[in-house]
Chains A and B, each alone.
Chain A
């Protein structure tokens, strides 16, 4: 599909709505992105014409739904270049994927004298499951520090690694600062020391060409709703050997093959980790979303994001009392997620005013309290871009931000 923002935007019904009597200027894409008509119709069609249970029935509806689901699993494996289809596990979300890894691989492999490494820029979903596990097992959690430019102090990694380090779990792209981490290099370093690697791909999945074999990570996780799919569906990629070595997490229907002399024989991967009724509609929606996303060139998507980022940063930097966190100037090592505060005004106040103009930004701690503490604030405003944002969105946002700044300074 050609990259024409006007045509792309028309595919998103949400923009036909008015917010407080105004057009919606949506700048909270790091939280979630809106859904194109194709995804919405696919969900509607599935429930109307194709809905069924999966994995269990012998009747046509069920067989068709099961086939559709497994075809999507295959599609996703190709999308991220996994070696095997069975390396793709359907979960609820990035958060659930990390919790699954912590409670299976983690529980089975981490001992009290071990340590794991995360970074200071992680989302709570990549901090709290490890904290909870560490209170049970006793292992240490070491932190790669942040610096004022919003980058990680990568030199510190070798100081943090020792013979007891078992895992490096790190975000590909920061949901607060937009920083792209050089994870391929980090993974190479980890590989040399036989350290398992987990990459949080929640922000990266719709902003980079993800190739898990090229990255050579052991685990890669992301959420469907961040790549134009429905909520309630996530993906956990794991290397086949590792997944096969892990015990199941949730028990229930569909994840045992047999019970023999009181011993449970687990299903093969991926189904070992998919107990209960799957979110079939979510999977169908995600499949359509990924096909839709793949119809664009990733280069166009990246360039569009870079253009909006450059344009916005230039305009923001002209506002006298603006404080941008992390990289204040454009760089190819970041994507279009920009966190800032305006003078002494609380982010919540700025967000409330902007909302009245139909402008949706995010305010608060962004589920990343360590980043807030690093920059010594309790909250930040955050704007973030997606495929349907345009220059007009930015112009209107900046115009209103300046207007609010003047209003509050009186």
Chain B
């Protein structure tokens, strides 16, 4: 999933090189086009994230390296792009690393919060909170099934 996604430094540099907010928005949308896609089955109520103005789905799985694999979609191109950025931040991280990772300040460092409305920022916060809650449930279930789970 993660091979084609840019790394954090790449997106940081690309943002800086955007000349204006229009280019930043278009870059976010472009990133959204690279999001790992959901299968038809994965557009389920379990994967649906309530509370956003657009529809958002996120699926999470634990891979053989104990990294969390993310897939997602939204009917809003900008939100899809923001989801992709979240997935990039969480890329190749384990459950504990994700829970302790301060993603909000990473978003701040990208310095495009000023281009996002308050409700959009709230939307991102809801998504991040929901990811963490769902991840915790995922880990509990995974532990029950797999006694070889290494934190």
Give the interface of A toward B (CB within 8 A).
Answer: 345-346, 348-349, 352-353, 355-356, 363-364, 378-379, 407-408, 410
- Measured in the bound complex, the distance between the Cα atoms of B26 and A345 in whole Å is 13
- Measured in the bound complex, the distance between the Cα atoms of B25 and A346 in whole Å is 14
A79 shortest CB reach to chain B, Å:
36
Provide 11 A-B residue pairs closer than 8 Å at the C-beta atoms, listed in order of the A residue. Answer: A346-B77, A346-B79, A348-B54, A348-B79, A349-B78, A352-B117, A356-B25, A364-B53, A379-B53, A407-B26, A408-B29
Q: Provide the residues of chain A in CB contact with B76, threshold 8 Å.
A: 346, 348-349
- Measured in the bound complex, the distance between the Cα atoms of B30 and A408 in whole Å is 10
- Measured in the bound complex, the distance between the Cα atoms of B26 and A356 in whole Å is 13
Number of interface residues of B (CB under 8 A): 17
Q: Provide the residues of chain A in CB contact with B75, threshold 8 Å.
A: 346, 378
Q: Provide the residues of chain A in CB contact with B79, threshold 8 Å.
A: 346, 348
Q: Provide the residues of chain B in CB contact with A407, threshold 8 Å.
A: 22, 26
Contact status of A379 and B29, CB under 8 A, knowing A348-B79, A407-B22: no
Q: Provide the residues of chain B in CB contact with A363, threshold 8 Å.
A: 53
- Measured in the bound complex, the distance between the Cα atoms of B25 and A378 in whole Å is 22
Interface bits B85-122 vs A (CB < 8 Å: 1, else 0): 00000000000000000000000000000010100100
- Measured in the bound complex, the distance between the Cα atoms of B120 and A349 in whole Å is 11
- Measured in the bound complex, the distance between the Cα atoms of B115 and A348 in whole Å is 14
Q: Provide the residues of chain B in CB contact with A348, threshold 8 Å.
A: 53-54, 76, 78-79
Interface bits B66-79 vs A (CB < 8 Å: 1, else 0): 00000000111111
- Measured in the bound complex, the distance between the Cα atoms of B33 and A408 in whole Å is 12
Q: Is there a chain A Cβ closer than 8 Å to B21's Cβ?
A: yes
Q: Is there a chain A Cβ closer than 8 Å to B55's Cβ?
A: yes
Q: Provide the residues of chain B in CB contact with A379, threshold 8 Å.
A: 53-54
* Contact between chains at A352 and B55 (CB < 8 Å): no
A300 shortest CB reach to chain B, Å:
35
* Contact between chains at A356 and B78 (CB < 8 Å): no
Q: Provide the residues of chain A in CB contact with B77, threshold 8 Å.
A: 345-346, 349, 408
A124 shortest CB reach to chain B, Å:
16
Interface bits B19-63 vs A (CB < 8 Å: 1, else 0): 001100110010000000000000000000000011100000000
Q: Provide the residues of chain B in CB contact with A410, threshold 8 Å.
A: 26
A245 shortest CB reach to chain B, Å:
43
B32 shortest CB reach to chain A, Å:
10
- Measured in the bound complex, the distance between the Cα atoms of B55 and A407 in whole Å is 23
Q: Provide the residues of chain B in CB contact with A353, threshold 8 Å.
A: 22, 25
- Per CB-CB distance, the 6 closest pairs between chain A and chain B, nearest first, are A346-B76, A348-B76, A348-B53, A349-B78, A346-B75, A348-B54
B4 shortest CB reach to chain A, Å:
21
Most B CB within 10 A of own CB, among A346, A355, A408, A410: A346
Q: Provide the residues of chain A in CB contact with B25, threshold 8 Å.
A: 352-353, 356
* Contact between chains at B117 and A355 (CB < 8 Å): yes
B18 shortest CB reach to chain A, Å:
13
Q: Provide the residues of chain B in CB contact with A345, threshold 8 Å.
A: 77
- Measured in the bound complex, the distance between the Cα atoms of B115 and A276 in whole Å is 43
Q: Provide the residues of chain B in CB contact with A364, threshold 8 Å.
A: 53
- Measured in the bound complex, the distance between the Cα atoms of B85 and A43 in whole Å is 47
B65 shortest CB reach to chain A, Å:
35
- Measured in the bound complex, the distance between the Cα atoms of B20 and A353 in whole Å is 13
Q: Provide the residues of chain B in CB contact with A349, threshold 8 Å.
A: 29, 76-78
Contact status of A352 and B53, CB under 8 A, knowing A345-B77, A378-B75, A407-B26: no
- Measured in the bound complex, the distance between the Cα atoms of B22 and A352 in whole Å is 11
- Measured in the bound complex, the distance between the Cα atoms of B22 and A143 in whole Å is 44
Extra inter-chain contacts (19) besides given A346-B77, A346-B79, A349-B76, CB under 8 Å? A346-B54, A346-B74, A346-B75, A346-B76, A348-B54, A348-B78, A348-B79, A349-B78, A352-B25, A352-B78, A352-B117, A353-B25, A355-B117, A364-B53, A378-B55, A378-B75, A407-B22, A407-B26, A410-B26
Q: Provide the residues of chain A in CB contact with B115, threshold 8 Å.
A: 356
- Measured in the bound complex, the distance between the Cα atoms of B26 and A352 in whole Å is 12
- Measured in the bound complex, the distance between the Cα atoms of B22 and A378 in whole Å is 25
B137 shortest CB reach to chain A, Å:
27
- Measured in the bound complex, the distance between the Cα atoms of B29 and A352 in whole Å is 12
A361 shortest CB reach to chain B, Å:
13
- Measured in the bound complex, the distance between the Cα atoms of B66 and A248 in whole Å is 63
B118 shortest CB reach to chain A, Å:
12
- Measured in the bound complex, the distance between the Cα atoms of B115 and A379 in whole Å is 22
* Contact between chains at A356 and B21 (CB < 8 Å): yes
Q: Provide the residues of chain A in CB contact with B117, threshold 8 Å.
A: 352, 355
- Measured in the bound complex, the distance between the Cα atoms of B117 and A363 in whole Å is 13
- Residue in B closest to A345 when the chains form the complex, CB atoms: B77
Q: Provide the residues of chain A in CB contact with B54, threshold 8 Å.
A: 346, 348, 378-379
- Measured in the bound complex, the distance between the Cα atoms of B106 and A266 in whole Å is 61
Q: Provide the residues of chain B in CB contact with A378, threshold 8 Å.
A: 54-55, 75
- Residue in B closest to A379 when the chains form the complex, CB atoms: B53
A381 shortest CB reach to chain B, Å:
12
